[in-house]
Amino acid sequence: MANEQNLRNIDEYNKSISAEERTRNARKAGKASGDKRNLKARLKEWAEDGGYEKMLDMAEKEIANGNVKMWELIRDTIGEKPVERVEQLNIDAEYEQSVAYVRKLMGDDAE
């Protein structure tokens, strides 16, 4: 989890490493990004073709290699992502009910 103690200023970090190391890091990041895009594209293609067994086989391999986010990716790809819902409250109505209840308790029937 990120917190103040383990975050680095990217500008200071880039100044502290050599140009060759920055290039190596950028290549690794680019390769990882491309791999992720390719993986997602293959999963989507397999899901559309009904190839769920291929997806599950691949997921097992990925999880064995330490990729624990694979199940979430498959779930989202096949359209089973849970919907986040925000409960909307009617604050005005609740307030009016509370005021009426307090007035009733106090014996003040007039509004």
Structure tokens at 92: 């005005």
Q: How many residues in total does the chain contain?
A: 111
Work out the angle at residue 19's Cα, subtended by the Cα atoms of residues 28 and 5, and round it to the nearest 5 degrees.
70
pLDDT at 103: 83
Structure tokens at 51: 């190839």
pLDDT at 82: 73
Residue 109 has pLDDT above 70, yes or no: no
Residue 85 has pLDDT above 70, yes or no: no
pLDDT per residue as tens digits for the range 31-67: 999 988 888 888 788 777 777 777 777 777 877 887 7
pLDDT higher at 73 or 84: 73
pLDDT at 31: 92
pTM of the predicted protein model: 0.41
Q: In Å, how far are 33, 45, 71, 77, 85 from 82, measured between CA atoms?
A: 25, 21, 13, 12, 9
